[in-house]
Amino acid sequence: MVTPFRYTLRRMRGQIIGWGLGIALLGAVIIPFYSVFAESQAQFLAMLENYPPEFLAFFGDASDASAITTPRGFLQYYFFSMLPVLAGIFALSAGSRLLAQDEERGRMDLILAHPLSRTTLFFGRVLALVAASVAIVFIGWLGCAILLATSSMDVGVGELALAFLPVLAQILIYAALALLLSLLLPAYRYASMITGMLLAASYILSSLGKLHPSLNAIGDLMPYAYYQGAAAMSGLDWGSFLGLVGISAVFVVLAWWRFERRDIRVVGEGSWNLPLRLRKRAA
C-alpha cells in the first residue's frame, strides 16, 4: 500500500501546494482587512443592513448582521462561509480522477498487472487523497495562523484550527462522493459534473433554507447544512463532523466494493452513446 500511497501523494503535490497556498492567500487578503473594517464598523453595518437577507444568508446568520463585528463573525462572513465551495472544487476534481483518470487514459490496465491487489491500490490512493486534503487544510490553517499573529483579531490558533476541521469534513464528503460516482458512471467528468452540481446546490439550498422553511427540508439533506465554519471556534460539533466523515467512509466502502468487482476499462472504452440521432426512415 506504501507505493500507491507515495506515488499518488507525489502526483498530487502540485494540488496540495496550490490549494493550500490558495487558501492561505485568501486569508492573507481577508485577515489584514479586519483592522480597516474595525475602524469603520458603523459604516459597514449600515451597508449590511441595506442588503437583502437572502444575500446575507450566503455568508452566515442572516438574522444578525451585527455578528460581523466580532472577529469570528468577520471570519465567517468573509472567509469560512465560502471555503467549503472553494475547497470542494479540489475535492470533486481529485476524487473523480483518483482511479478513473488512469483507467480512461489506459494506464490502469498495466498498473493492475503488477502484484498488488485492487484493494491495496484503492486504499493506497484513498489514503493519499485523505493525506492531501489534510495537508491542504493544514497549509491553509498555517498561513492564516501566521497572519493572525500580526493582526488585531482576538482569535487563537487553536480556535482557528477548530474552524478548519469542518472544512476538512466537507472536502472528504465531496471527494468520496466524486470517487464513488467516478466508478459508477462511464467517465470521471460526469462524476465531477454531478458532484459540482450538488456542491453548488448544497451551498445555495442550505443557505436559503435559513430564511425559507420550505427549503429547509431539502437543505438539511445537504452537506453544507452540517458545516459549522467559524462557529466551531466556540466548540466543534463533533456530531456533524463525525457524521460527515462517517458518510464519507460509507461512500468510500461502496466505491471499493464497486472497484473490486468491475472490469477495468481501457482507453476509449465506456463512453455513453446517447441516442440523440434520429433513425433514418427507410426510403
Q: Footprint of another protein on this chain (CB under 8 A)?
A: 3-4, 7, 11, 105-118, 263-264, 266-267
The distance of closest approach from Cβ of residue 2 to another protein in the complex, given in angstroms and rounded to an integer, is: 8
How far apart CA 262 and CA 259 sit, in angstroms, is 6
Cβ closer to another protein: 113 or 283?
Answer: 113
Rg of the chain on CA atoms, in Å: 21
Task: Report which residue type is found at 181.
Answer: L
How far apart CA 264 and CA 108 sit, in angstroms, is 7
The distance of closest approach from Cβ of residue 119 to another protein in the complex, given in angstroms and rounded to an integer, is: 10
The distance of closest approach from Cβ of residue 182 to another protein in the complex, given in angstroms and rounded to an integer, is: 17
Cβ closer to another protein: 105 or 212?
Answer: 105
Residue with cell 465551495: 85
Helix, strand, coil % in the chain, rounded to nearest 5: 75, 0, 25
Residue 138 grid cell = 493544514
Cβ closer to another protein: 25 or 267?
Answer: 267
266 Cβ contact partners less than 8 Å away, ≥ 6 residues apart: 103, 106, 109
Cβ closer to another protein: 14 or 158?
Answer: 14
The distance of closest approach from Cβ of residue 18 to another protein in the complex, given in angstroms and rounded to an integer, is: 15
The distance of closest approach from Cβ of residue 26 to another protein in the complex, given in angstroms and rounded to an integer, is: 28
The distance of closest approach from Cβ of residue 252 to another protein in the complex, given in angstroms and rounded to an integer, is: 22
Residue 9 grid cell = 501523494
CB atoms within 10 A of CB 90: 23
Q: Rounded to 5 degrees, what are φ and ψ at 99?
A: -120, -40
